Amino acid sequence: MKKNIGIIFICLLFTNLVCGQSSVEIFDKYVEAARQEWNVPGLSIVVVQDGKVVLSKGYGVKEIGKPERVDTETLFGAMSTTKAMTAAAMGMLVDEGKVSWDDKVTKYLPNFRVADYYVSSELRVRDLFTHNSGIGDTDFLWRRTPEISPDEIVRRLQYVKQIHPFRSGFNSYQNVMYLVAGQVIEKASGMPWKQFVTERIFKPLGMKNTFATYEDSKKYKNRSVAHFDFKGKIQPIPETSIDSAAPAGAVWSTADDIGKWVNFMLGNTTADGKQLLKPETFKEILSPQVISPPGEFYDTQALTKPHWITYGLGWDQHDYRGLMVNLHAGSLDGRMAMIGLMPDKKLGVYVFGNLRPAEVNHALMYKTFDVFGFNDNSRDWSKEVKSLYDGLKADARNKADEIKLKRKTDTVPSLPLSAYAGKYSDPFYGEMEVALVGGKLRLIVTKELSADLSHWQFNAFQAAWNKAWWDESLLDFQINPLTGEVDSMTIDGANLKRVRPK
């Protein structure tokens, strides 16, 4: 009896792992429970420790309502975790002496321009990876006008306003700067970015089912489907492509393949006896480059309470349980991903998921660190992270409701609806059209993207996008006080001037 009491006491004292269960068994059960708690249709996860894959597994289904299960060869989007691959590709060129991190971008792209002349002339290769250019948001170019070419996206950067001081730290997340980095890679290597990462990273690491772009991945049959939690209902949605800014987030991969990348980024940078990245370059990529302000970091900081937050070359960084963590999330409509590395524990994890929004990827990363790094199963990260994000969603809904309550419902537009119809243009945003269709206004951004407009108040209209899972926007028309005609319109921060017939 005393012996049994002693065993029970030890199990209670060491709350880390349940007696008789391995770390893999505990984590495996936890992942499935978390998937169900967050209602994610499918997950695919790989955990690497001490140079070996300790778990690689699929959970749930590829598409809600269908029986096909996710496995370790099911394809998912890597999204912004692609950025680290672009940084590694640039590092390989640094190793070869073809590029220096502190070279000016104009050395490789002489016509590169942003609105500020000094930033244009002084921007270095290193700056492309650290979100410190200070220019305004550029995601409109690939998100809402994906049909324009990468070259056109980069050309339009000359019209983006400077909203922060140059190199004032991590000041504005910039996907498009990674596109510029991809163009530098092409100029320095003579090889397009997607070919470079395929030939120099994917093939040497044996990542046979990894694709540099969505377009290249289309023929792969074993693939997951994107889902969105729209008004309380989870449903499949069409894929969103970032191929026009591919070096920022276009890679697609599987758990079996991405585990090889995780192992590589834990410092195992030799493949078939060949060193793919020199130790000093590898160290530089993961060295803190800029301080990240709390507003530019993940909301999970409220739970992890880091002492410091930095950004390396394509990597978020912070301290957890006294050790350095390199991480990066990825997200597009209907998809999420997460990579997390704890180098001192030789431990890494990658999480793929086919639902957005769903922040279970954060929870599973920290659970990996606890269980495999510290033999600690005491903290329910899924519950804590879900409570945090449920609270943030509730706050957002309350703020939206407050705005609706302030709406002036007794107003009417200043002009007949036909007076708002016409074309609107801006050098950065391009041309949009407001058309009168069936007695109602419609905003036409591209052939694929439009929004029906309904009167909100005064000269403002609510825009309901044809991508129903997108939040509605407010479009406001500005009236010239002298002529009484529409001069311009503003939507989601974009101001476009009315195009007058010649």
Q: What is the pTM of this model?
A: 0.94
Euclidean distance between the first and the last CA atom of the chain, given in angstroms as a whole number? 97
Same domain, 217 and 364: yes
Same domain, 432 and 304: no
pLDDT at 501: 81
Contact 83, 233 (CB under 8 A): no
Q: For 19, list phi and psi in degrees, rounded to 5.
A: -60, 135
In a domain? residue 16: no
Same domain, 335 and 431: no
In a domain? residue 402: no
Q: Which of 125, 156, 151, 129 is nearest to 140 (CA)?
A: 156
Q: What is the CATH number of the domain that holds 359?
A: 3.40.710.10
| Dist CA 151 CA 196 (whole Å) | 18
Give 222-275 pLDDT, tens digit per residue: 999 999 998 889 999 999 999 999 999 999 999 999 999 999 999 999 999 999
Q: Which of helix, strand or coil describes residue 490?
A: strand
pLDDT in 10s for each residue of the chain, 502 residues: 445 555 444 444 444 454 568 999 999 999 999 999 999 999 999 999 999 999 999 999 999 999 999 999 999 999 999 999 999 999 999 999 999 999 999 999 999 999 999 999 999 999 999 999 999 999 999 999 989 999 999 999 999 999 999 999 999 999 999 999 999 999 999 999 999 999 999 999 999 999 999 999 999 999 999 999 988 899 999 999 999 999 999 999 999 999 999 999 999 999 999 999 999 999 999 999 999 999 999 999 999 999 999 999 999 999 999 999 999 999 999 999 999 999 999 999 999 999 998 999 999 999 999 999 999 999 999 999 999 999 999 999 999 999 999 999 999 999 999 999 999 999 999 999 999 999 999 999 999 999 999 999 999 999 999 999 999 999 999 999 999 999 999 999 899 999 988 7
Q: What is the CATH number of the domain that holds 444?
A: 2.40.128.600
Kindly state the tokens that stand for 311: 């950004």
* DSSP H or E stretch at residue 403: helix 381-405
Same domain, 340 and 453: no
Domain with 460 in it: 417-498
